Structure 1
């Protein structure tokens, strides 16, 4: 399982999973775009490079998701493929997607912002990331 959603008053909670921290960050991003649309219908027409730094892992996650939301807010870009590399508290990524097209993409719920609410990153045999987005 890549991710799951949980009920949260007026917002949406996400639990993302991965064998590695990078994979869990990729699945967290995929979950955010799945809230907005059916990600299986997104074509990888555009490649964007993203680089963010955090002061801890939670801040790195926050800044990662926030940077993706900014692309949606400013250019209506939606993504469904993510290649993340994390080195300490520095993240570099290539993300793939296209501009939202109402004739091809289902309009679901708009994610307004990333939050720190209920955020946790657990690393055991698998990585589990929990966070809430503001809708």
Structure 2
């Protein structure tokens, strides 16, 4: 289990351009760290994660046969929770044991003045979907539809 009670800056993530959409990528020393990092990259497409206070939580459970599909499911569950709960997230806890991924996302209700959301993320896609190791480093990435 990996709980993000550290500042969001302790995780390494990035976004990258992809035609009309946006790529998100997270890096970590474990699959859990990479999931947390890519989750922060997802939020960064919308707003600065450091502007989001982790005051409320939602639970997410995913089940699939591969790391790639668990990443896809996890990101789409986060996007669904953001849309249906009107929330943004900034802290995450994940526990990954194939075929299960259990997690908690902490955040707050969207405040347009505070968060100044840039775009709405519609969903994670299978484009450039990858969740695995490159040497000793774990990488989680995909393209999100905006």
TM-score by length of 1: 0.95
Point out where structure 1 has 5 or more consecutive residues left out of the alignment.
none
Secondary structure of 1:44's counterpart equals coil
Matches within 5 A, 1:1-135: 2-123=12-133, 124-135=135-146
SS in 2 for 1:118: coil
CA contact (8 A) 2:25 2:37 kept: no
Q: CA deviation at 1:128?
A: 1.3
Aligned length: 135
Unaligned runs of 5+ in 2: 1-10
The answer to whether the 8 A contact 2:62-2:74 is kept is yes
**TM superposition score normalised by structure 2:** 0.88
Q: Over aligned residue pairs, what C-alpha RMSD do you find?
A: 1.1
Give CA deviations for 1:34-78 in whole Å, capped at 9, x if unaligned: 101111011111011111111211110011000000011112111
Runs of 4+ aligned residues of structure 1 deviating over 4 Å after TM superposition are: none
